[in-house]
Amino acid sequence: MTQPTELEPCGCPSGRRGLSRRGFLGALGVGALAVAVGPGITQAAFASDATAASTADTLVILDLRGGMDGLSLVPPIGDAAYAALRPTIAIPASQGLVSSGIFGLHPALAPLLPNWKAGTFGALQAVAQPDETRSHFTSQYELDRAAPDTSLTTGWLDRAVEALGTTGVLQSATLGSGVADRILAGPAPSFAASTLADFTLYGGSSTDTSLATAIQSLHDASPLPWASIAAPTLGCVSTAASVVAAESSPANGAVYPTGDIGSALSNVAQMIRANVGLRFVSVDMGDWDMHQGLGAAGTGWMASQAGTLASALAAFATDIGPTALAHTSVVTISEFGRRAGENGSGGVDHGHGNAMLFLGGGLNGGTVHGTWPGLAAADLDQGDLAGTTDYRDVFADLLTARCGLPTSALSSVFPGYTPTATGIARSI
């Protein structure tokens, strides 16, 4: 394997992808009836059928796109090599929010401190995936596919939905985007919306159903392949409007930060409280590609991002309340971590091992899980934090302990891989 190089610009920030499939649909003015069907592409139909209340968790996957720096969010302040590798950007031991073994938490995660103390918020360190390209696009693709050394093009979460048995399109969703995330690519139907309030028919209204009736009539007898999508799509438009009308503001005094992540998690909370059958959710939060200006000693760009993330998660936990939180698991993921040592621009380049954060009533929080490999030169992976926990182990634990997936079905979700227990989840 060749040594990754980050001596020249990589074309970041992440998300600069030219005209994406998402952008293409938007450019065409395609709205609620947009459908894309094909190998490895999510059938983006939308339905309104809710399922009965379940004891299984709703799993919320928060993708921190751009390569989040886990050595900043969960700093190993007790590792002697940490401060030396990051002379200007390391979190000082005196500023670590908590003490968990050799680890602290970034001070900007303070809004989640009550959850840490209650045991509902925690972290894992030295998590990685098999792909080591340090490429945003390759790593994200492999992260979503979770099937190295195979020809599978579906997303692993889609395969989990298939293994559990689909119960309606609102079983899985992408919030904050008008197109389902690649993690849900595959045959299982999935709901996708930038916001619930915006999920409407172009030219229609919540009080006048004539447009919806006309569209349904046009498709009732049509032999075209997308005709079967019309009814569930229209049903989902109606459901979204009902949820927004019934849940117009956060509950329990929750206050979300402004911006996309606050809006998306607020919508997830609305759907959970409305009991529409939501089981799996994918939410993206970008702007983690900090090649420069990360911030010194807990300030700057990282502090801003981490603070927004923490405020959004804390508001979400408050919004849904302790009863729903007992059956909700939120976990962060990122395509890769950052290099162990800072660069000459006060940032960190693409790396490998990383941290994951988790929030939920059925999870073992209040600590940092994982096996720490150390940051001494001999312990690094090509200059990066080594990965000692495969991210598939984490999701295997969540799927089986919290989401009702039989252990025997893991081979279809993560083909060719035998997971190792992480201990982050308690069985329902």
Task: Give the number of other Cβ atoms within 10 Å of residue 166's Cβ.
Answer: 16
- Per-residue pLDDT tens digits for 370-382: 999 999 999 999 9
The structure tokens listed for 6 are: 């980050």
Q: How is residue 396 annotated by DSSP?
A: H
pLDDT at 227: 74
Residue 82 has pLDDT above 80, yes or no: yes
12 occurs within a structural domain: no
Alpha helices in 69-121 (DSSP H): 70-73, 80-85, 113-118
Whether 388 has a pLDDT exceeding 80, the answer reads yes
pLDDT at 22: 36
Q: Which of 385, 387, 398, 389 lies closest to 427 in space, CA to CA?
A: 398
Tell whether pTM > 0.85. Answer: yes
pLDDT at 206: 60
303 located within any domain: yes
- List, in order, residues 6 or more apart from 110 with CB less than 8 Å away: 97, 310
Whether residue 418 lies inside any domain: the answer is no
Of the two residues 362 and 32, the one the predictor is more confident about is 362
Q: Is residue 423 part of a domain?
A: no
Mean pLDDT of 276-284: 96
Backbone angles phi, psi at 166, to 5 degrees: -70, 140
pLDDT given for residue 54 in this prediction: 66
- Residue 279's pLDDT band, with cuts at 50, 70 and 90, is very high
Cis-peptide, bond into residue 13, ω within 30° of zero: yes
Residue 154, in any domain of the structure: yes
pLDDT tens readout for residues 287-322: 999 999 999 988 999 999 999 999 999 999 999 999
Give the pLDDT mean for 15-26.
34
Residue 407 has pLDDT above 80, yes or no: yes
* % of the chain at pLDDT higher than 90: 72
Domain hosting residue 235, numbered range: 21-413
On whether residue 7 sits in a domain, the answer given is no
Say if residue 9's pLDDT is above 60. Answer: no
Tokens of residue 261, six digits:
């992540």
Q: 2 lies in a domain? A: no
According to the model, what pLDDT value does residue 210 have?
80
| Among 292, 363, 371, 373, CA closest to 327 | 363
* Residue 301 CB partners (closer than 8 Å, separation 6+): 290, 293, 294, 295
The mean pLDDT of 89-93, rounded to a whole number, is: 96
* Domain count across the chain: 1
pLDDT confidence bin for 8, thresholds 50/70/90:
very low
Where is average pLDDT lowest: 46-55, 60-69, 360-369, 400-409? 46-55
Whether 419 maps to a domain, the answer reads: no
Q: What is the pLDDT of residue 239?
A: 86
Go through the chain and tell me how many residues it has: 428
